[in-house]
Amino acid sequence: MIGRILPPEVATAEASEDPAGASLFPEESAVIDRAFEKRRREFATVRHCARLAMAELGLAPRPVLPGERGAPRWPEGIVGSMTHCPGYRAAALARSSDIASVGIDAEPHEPLPEGLFERITTPAERSALGELARDRPAVHWDRLVFTAKESVYKTWFPLTARWLDWEDAELTFEPETHDFHAALSVSGPSADARFPRAFTGRWLITETHVLSAIAVPHRPDTPSARS
């Protein structure tokens, strides 16, 4: 499903349950050694997806360890993103020569817990989403804006290695095309002109989940947090 909202340069793999064959490298097992079994299964399955995507790119299986702020550490020359939630796990990878950064997220298509919507949105977003909810009440717009902002952060952090708060990205949605746009209003040292100030992504709603994805095309002047 996630591949439907990403460009063809991005290799994807997904799972709706935890397969028995989802194994871990020893260094990955060490990271998750003390976690509950449910967390271990999620951790293993999403990395199983990542290795399937690696194979699609012609890469041998490699460990995927968490780095700064938990962001995955990918092989040199690879960018990627992973997501897991009840009933869904996925990974999306691309060569950095094609894609500068990618961010994906998935959530159950149901209302957010009470009070969270107000914490993650700006007044302008709440007004616009209220209108969309009146026109299209079948969509849980609160959950959609949550997953889209997660995709924004997952795209932003590998490019900048800097924090992005909920209100630092103001989102607008195009219900006809299933596109969304994120205007970034970062302040202080994050306002470096080299860093992106906007992203465009896509979203998809299934019978059970809402998915969002952003892929930033590679350009010679795209900043990299690794440089």
List the structure tokens of 79.
Answer: 């960018």
CA–CA separation, 133 vs 153, rounded Å?
Answer: 24
Percent of the chain exceeding pLDDT 90 equals 80
The answer to whether the beta carbons of residues 28 and 2 sit under 8 Å apart is no
Set out the domains of the chain in order of their start, with CATH numbers: 2-103 (3.90.470.20), 105-217 (3.90.470.20)
C-alpha distances out from residue 79 to 32, 44, 53, 62, 218, Å = 23, 19, 11, 14, 11
The whole-model pTM stands at: 0.92
Residue 129 clears pLDDT 70, i.e. is over it: yes
Residue 188 clears pLDDT 50, i.e. is over it: no
Mean pLDDT computed over every residue of the chain: 92
Q: What is the pLDDT of residue 27?
A: 95
DSSP state letter for 195: S
Residue with tokens 């990918």: 74
- Read off the pLDDT of each residue in 42-71 and give the average, rounded to a whole number: 94
Q: What is the pLDDT of residue 219?
A: 77
Q: Which of 105, 110, 80 is nearest to 95 (CA)?
A: 80
The answer to whether the beta carbons of residues 54 and 96 sit under 8 Å apart is no
DSSP state letter for 27: H
CA–CA separation, 123 vs 167, rounded Å?
Answer: 10
Residue 227 clears pLDDT 70, i.e. is over it: no
Residue with tokens 């699609």: 56
- Read off the pLDDT of each residue in 182-201 and give the average, rounded to a whole number: 75
Q: What is the pLDDT of residue 20?
A: 83
- Read off the pLDDT of each residue in 73-84 and give the average, rounded to a whole number: 96
The answer to whether the beta carbons of residues 145 and 201 sit under 8 Å apart is no
Using pLDDT thresholds of 50, 70 and 90, give the confidence band for residue 192: low
Residue 60 clears pLDDT 60, i.e. is over it: yes
Whether the CA torsion 5, 197, 192, 222 is positive or negative: it is positive
Q: Please classify residue 85 by burial: count the beta carbons closer than 10 Å to its beta carbon, then call 0-12 exposed, 13-18 middle and 19+ buried.
A: middle
Q: What is the pLDDT of residue 70?
A: 84
